[in-house]
Amino acid sequence: MSNQKSGLVPGIIVGLVAMLAGAALYGAIIGITKYEIGIATIGVGVLVGLGIMAVKPTSPVLPPLAAVFGLAGAALGQIVGATILLVEFAQDEGVTMSYTTAAGEITGEFGALISEDPKSLLFWAIGAAAAFSFVNKRVKAANEPADQPQPTSPAQS
């Protein structure tokens, strides 16, 4: 029995923290620029992937979880950004709206908002693929036997 740890629990914790940080950053970008910048959602996935890679995972469960966290972070970031924009719009119109109320409105209409601009989903998928591939590469490297014989080139024979 091996004493090697899988990194599953630390990977999940770091992945969730990276997802929330990426979502907050993406939401802030939307709130500041007033534009949805698709490449930033890829950054959320990259942040999740790099975060989980940092705990040196060996569990094969983590790559798919990284992809899910990347997708969820992109969606959450878009909700945060749209909430900020809705509150600012309401203030411009002279209406007082709390962030909680605005978040409820945005969450209720989220499907319709995404269907208006489905190319956002493409960027989400690319971010999820990036998170998956970073973590998958690290897990595969960690699970390769260290005592594999190195191939010799004909010049060394």
Hunting for tokens 């191939």 — which residue is that?
A: 151
pLDDT band, very low/low/confident/very high, at 6 (cuts 50, 70, 90): confident
Instruction: Examine residue 157 and state whether it is found in any structural domain, yes or no.
Output: no
Instruction: Examine residue 2 and state whether it is found in any structural domain, yes or no.
Output: no
pTM, whole model, 2 decimals? 0.84
Report whether 114 contacts 121 (CB < 8 A): yes
Report whether 132 contacts 67 (CB < 8 A): yes
Instruction: Examine residue 92 and state whether it is found in any structural domain, yes or no.
Output: yes
Average pLDDT, the chain: 89
Instruction: Examine residue 102 and state whether it is found in any structural domain, yes or no.
Output: yes
Number of domains in the chain: 1
Report whether 26 contacts 40 (CB < 8 A): yes
Instruction: Examine residue 150 and state whether it is found in any structural domain, yes or no.
Output: no
Higher pLDDT, 117 or 21: 21
Instruction: Examine residue 75 and state whether it is found in any structural domain, yes or no.
Output: yes
Residue 127 in this model has a pLDDT that exceeds 50 = yes
Best CA proximity match to 127, nearest among 66, 80, 78? 66
Hunting for tokens 């209409």 — which residue is that?
A: 109
pLDDT band, very low/low/confident/very high, at 1 (cuts 50, 70, 90): very low
Hunting for tokens 């002279």 — which residue is that?
A: 94
- The range of the structural domain enclosing residue 59 comes to 8-143
